[in-house]
Amino acid sequence: MIRAKLESGELVTLVKDCDCVIHEGPHWLYMDEMDKRLNAPLRERALQGEPLAFVAYAEAELRRLGAKRSEMEQQNIIEILRS
């Protein structure tokens, strides 16, 4: 179960909105986790001092977090609560 805190302070359960059998909760949140995992190798390379990997990681994370922020704003979510 994935819960979220809304701007109003209310706690809600985020419902599944797709037919996927490999995750629970909304599809956009699952895709955010997948994108984060895909970006992890770039992060590791950036931490090892590769400047181009740092730029690629930063750009990928900006896209990921921008999409996540947009979804959260549309639904008035201020925090994702994992149990």
Token pair recorded at residue 17:
């909105």
- Report how far Cα 30 is from the mean position of its chain's Cα atoms: 7
Q: Which residues of the chain have pLDDT under 50?
A: none
**Could you tell me which of 71, 64, 67 has the C-alpha nearest to residue 2?**
71
Q: How far apart are CA 43 and CA 36, in angstroms?
A: 10
82 three-state secondary structure: strand
The confidence score (pLDDT) of residue 82 equals 82
Residue 5 phi, psi dihedral angles, 5° rounding: -100, 130
pTM: 0.88
The confidence score (pLDDT) of residue 83 equals 67
